Every structure is written in C-alpha cells, then in structure tokens.
Structure 1
Amino acid sequence: MTIAPPLSAPAIGKGRVSRRRRPRSAMPGLGLTLGLTWLWLGILVLLPLAAVAAKSLSLGPAHFAEVAFSPRALAAYRLSFGAALAAGAINTVFGLLIAWVLVRYDFPGKRLASALVDLPFALPTAVAGIALTAIYANTGFLGGLLQAAGIKIAYTPAGVVLALVFIGLPFVVRTVEPVLSDLGKDIEEAAATLGAGRATIFRRVLLPEIAPALLTGFALAFARGVGEYGSVIFIAGNMPFQSEIAPLLIVTQLEQFDYEGATAIAAVMLIASFVLLAAINALQARERQWRSTGQ
C-alpha cells in the first residue's frame, strides 16, 4: 500500500502561503483608545494652549516684553506664584496631619471630618471667597480679634494665602490618604520592636514611602492655587502692586479689550507653571529611582 506524501504548505492553503500572525494583545483596542486619548487631549488641552501661544506671539518681541514684564505684571506674578507656593507648603504639612488622623484613628465624627475635607471641592469658589472675607475682615468675628492684636488678614497678601490654603487642602489629604492606608501599621510596629523612636520611624520608615504622594499633592495644590480666581478676589483687596493676582490682571486686560496683553500675561504664567511642574515631576522620578535602586 503506497502512502501519499504530506501536502505542502501551498497545497494546504490552496496556493496561499500561510503568514505568521502577530501575537494578540491581552488588552486589545490600544490603537483606538490611544487615538481617542490624543484626540480628546488635543481638543481640550493642546489646542487652547496653542491658541494662547499663537496669540501672544502675534504681539512681537518688544510689545510682548513690555506687556508681560511690566512692573505691575511682575508684582502680580510674585504674588500669585509666591502665595501658591506658600499655601502648598502649608497644605503639605497640615494635609499630612489630617490624612494621618483620618487613617490611623477612629473617633466620633470621623465621617463628618472626612466630608469637610472635600467641602472646597463642592463649594463654589465665589462662595468660599465671600465666606472668608466675612470672617476675616475687620468687621468679622476672627478679623476683629486679629485686628485688635495688630494682625490684618483680609485685603492683604496673607488673605490670598489663606484662600489658597482653603481650596488646596483636599488635594494633599486625598493624595496621601490612600498611601497611608496601604502602608498599615505593621511596618511601624516592626520598627518599634527594633527600638526605633517615633521620630525615627516617621523619618526613616514612613516619610520615604509617602514622599512621592506628598509631592504630588503639593503639585496639585500649587497648580490649583496659581490659577485660582473666584475665592481670592474678594479677600485680596485687588490693589495693584500689593494684593493683585495675575488672573485678575488678565481679566482686567480683557475688560479693556486688550486681548493681546491678556494672552501675553497668560503665556508667561503658562510657561512658569510648566517649568515648576516639570521640576516637581523630575523630583518625583528621582525619588522613585532612588527607592527602586535602594541607594
């Protein structure tokens, strides 16, 4: 009995040579989702930023420098970025403290305290500004007491910092809180059994773990503070060279129909914010690399 030879590849495929298929991804749809992601980011983020850059470049270098770096604009930049940095630093300390209390302890009213942390997210910024002004003005309850002690909050740069602390606190708390929850108490107890004190446990054990989250919360609070408008204009006083923030100066330029000047100031704030956020992200990447290498 004669056995027929095995069929060749072209015979099996009826004249077509079989091709090796590309391995299928475990999560299909990368091309479509990636395209939609870039499209959505382009429409919402890149296109408006490109419009601001293009409008500001139409001024020409001389006019751009004259408007964007005028003494009034420089004073507004110093207040906006300085107050945002100060408020971010304050929120980093007290946000960590509040997150620690909410995660580590059980106490009556814990749910209420957690809900109050999120209140600046839900509260309209104008309402927050009016409330802070009513409390800290000279005729307010706390403002009157502070005025008697020689401390003035409302209508000063200190009022700007106070408003930015109010609206930036949830960013730090909600960023650090899940990290603390994942850590648990085991590592603290293990360090304590080895003879480490509370300060040493926090500095050598906890802080390296929560540092990236703290930097992220600071960056979010800072970014929100730089562009904040509604909660600041009521308590700031809006005096040029004293308590005028950069977003208010942009609105002032728009009210005077100086659209090019407004976009020039906006472009400077945009570039400065990008530089600061890039520096913070670089610090976070360096921290992660240091932790991964164990150096």
Structure 2
Amino acid sequence: MKSNKKRVLPGFGLSLGFTTLYLSLLVLIPLSMVFIQTSQLGWGEFLDVVTSERIVHSYKISFGTAFAAAAINAVFGLLVAWVLVRYSFPGKRILDALIDLPFALPTAVAGITLTTLYSTNGWIGQFLEPFNIKIAFTPFGITVALAFIGLPFIVRMVQPVLQDIEKEVEEAAESLGASRFQIFRKVIFPEILPALLSGFSLAFARGLGEYGSVVFIAGNMPMKTEIAPLMIMTKLEQFDYAGATAIAVVMLVISFLCLIIINIIQLWSRRSELKVSR
C-alpha cells in the first residue's frame, strides 16, 4: 500500500542528486585537481619537493602547533563551557557572545593584534622580556594564535551536551556516595567525550590550514617558524604550482589520517558508553 504522506523536501533520489552535485562542486572536484596538478611531477621530483629539509620542518611546525593548540583548547574550552552552563553571573551573555568572536574577526586582524600584544615591546610581551620569555616569532606564538582561533570549536561542541545532561543522574551518583571527581569521571566525562573529540578534531583541522593569523606572529624564519601553508604560498608566488600542490597533498593525506584516527577513538568511546549504559 502506497503512502500518501507528503514530504517537506523532495524525494530521496532528487535530494541525493543535489547533495552529490553540491559536494562535488565544493569538495570533490577541487580536491581532485590538487592530485591532478601534483601528478605532473614525477615520483622522484615529488619526493624531492616534499622531503626537503625546509618543507619537512614546516610540517613539524604546522602539525605540532595545531595539535598543541587543540589539546590546550580541549582543557580550557571544556572549563569555559562548564562555567557558561553550570553558573550564573553578571556578564554571562556577553562572555558567551565573545566566544564566537574568533569566527567573525578577520584572521589578519587577529594576527596583527596578537603580534602587537606578545612582541618584546607589546603590552604583554614587555613584562615577559625580563624573564627571557618570548612568544612572538616563536612556535609558542603560533600555538597561541591557533588556540585563539580554535577555542570556539571546543566550547560550542561541548556546551549543548553539558546542557542536556540531567542533574538527577549526578544527584543519584552523589546519593550513592560518589565523590565530585568520581561523578565527573564516570558520569559526566563519558557523556561529553564524543563532543570533546569532535571539537578537538575541528580545532586541529582549522589550525593546520590557518594562515592569516599565524603569518604575522610566526615571523616566518626559515627552519624555525615557517608553517606549511606559508611554504605553499611561497611556491605559488614562484609559479611552482605542482610543487605547491605536492605540499598540499601531503598535508591533506596526513590530516585525513589524523581525522580518521580521531573518529575511530570517538566511535570507540561511544560504543564503550553504550556498553556501560546497558
């Protein structure tokens, strides 16, 4: 018997067709062109480009600082989300709105602002200079910039999950004699872990491709603070399009593998949570 129920959106076939077309135009075709452009290089030339000492060091800087910034945000982003959900205080709405500021702020403006703050004669850097602590023009400065642009991903992924956790569950655990740490570790943390991993992966992916906010505070010193996106831009300025796409291919493959690993961990955490709930 056929159902006469009207659908708000078109049928599966038409919807899938539009979805495939849209993703092809925005994602699949541009990514395939990266591999096609790189194929102009021979295997030997490709290896020479992507394994040169300067390029390899830029990979280390990009992946290392992106991972460090995402890890820092995973801790403090969780803390910020916890404060916004669990406490009421004056200016809470203003603070909540400020979390999204890195999304709206142009990345170049963020980079210039952070450089001004953390340079040796900046508002914050001048107080660190007597202790021989340098942030601007160091890998640590890159990490600070990536932490700035990655914080909203963690907070906005964890915040709604915290809001949905029923306080009755925590009260039940407390009535059974669980300490605050045990309640957080065994009741709250398993619930927010998938969201926390999702936010981490988004912040990590954003950090890998970030250019505007990093290029100013990094200083772009060869073999010290050069990031992989800068090396791609350098190749493009030299009209070496194949070399630029070769670097991009390596970053794309490594990023994809990292995201797969994070998704596997996320899936494992969800399955473990379901087993515990049963």
Taking structure 2 as the reference length, what is the TM-score of the superposition?
0.96
Out of 52, 59, 62, the residue aligned to residue 80 of structure 1 is 62
Query: By how many angstroms is 1:255 displaced?
Result: 0.5
Cα distance in 2 for partners of 1:247, 1:25 equals 51
| 3-state secondary structure, aligned to 2:184 | helix
Cα distance in 2 for partners of 1:132, 1:95 equals 19
State the match for 1:211 in structure 2. Answer: 193
Partner amino acid, structure 2, of 1:155? F
Deviations 1:151-210 (A, max 9, x none): 100000000000000000000000000000000322222211111111111101101000
Partner amino acid, structure 1, of 2:70? G
Partner amino acid, structure 1, of 2:116? A
Partner amino acid, structure 1, of 2:60? R
State the match for 2:266 in structure 1. Answer: 284
Out of 71, 76, 79, the residue aligned to residue 53 of structure 2 is 71
State the match for 1:110 in structure 2. Answer: 92
State the match for 1:54 in structure 2. Answer: 36
Query: By how many angstroms is 1:26 displaced?
Result: 7.4
Deviations 1:16-45 (A, max 9, x none): xxxxx6667875611111110111001100
State the match for 1:36 in structure 2. Answer: 18
Aligned pair count? 275
Cα distance in 2 for partners of 1:24, 1:278 equals 41
Cα distance in 1 for partners of 2:3, 2:275 equals 33
State the match for 1:157 in structure 2. Answer: 139
1:124 maps onto 2:124 in alignment: no
| 3-state secondary structure, aligned to 1:141 | coil
Cα distance in 2 for partners of 1:186, 1:46 equals 46
Cα distance in 2 for partners of 1:38, 1:261 equals 30
Cα distance in 2 for partners of 1:40, 1:24 equals 29
| 3-state secondary structure, aligned to 2:225 | coil
Query: By how many angstroms is 1:293 displaced?
Result: 2.8
Taking structure 1 as the reference length, what is the TM-score of the superposition?
0.91
Query: By how many angstroms is 1:292 displaced?
Result: 2.1
State the match for 1:268 in structure 2. Answer: 250
Out of 127, 137, 161, the residue aligned to residue 179 of structure 1 is 161
Cα distance in 2 for partners of 1:261, 1:44 equals 23
Query: By how many angstroms is 1:291 displaced?
Result: 1.9
Report sequence identity in percent.
Answer: 59
State the match for 1:45 in structure 2. Answer: 27
1:235 maps onto 2:217 in alignment: yes
State the match for 1:146 in structure 2. Answer: 128
Partner amino acid, structure 2, of 1:257? F
Partner amino acid, structure 1, of 2:97? A
Query: 5+ unaligned residues in a row in structure 1: which ranges?
Result: 1-20
Partner amino acid, structure 2, of 1:51? M
Out of 81, 94, 103, the residue aligned to residue 76 of structure 2 is 94
| 3-state secondary structure, aligned to 2:124 | helix
| 3-state secondary structure, aligned to 2:98 | helix
State the match for 2:239 in structure 1. Answer: 257
Deviations 1:137-156 (A, max 9, x none): 00101101111111100000
Partner amino acid, structure 1, of 2:150? G
Cα distance in 1 for partners of 2:13, 2:273 equals 33
Cα distance in 2 for partners of 1:176, 1:26 equals 36
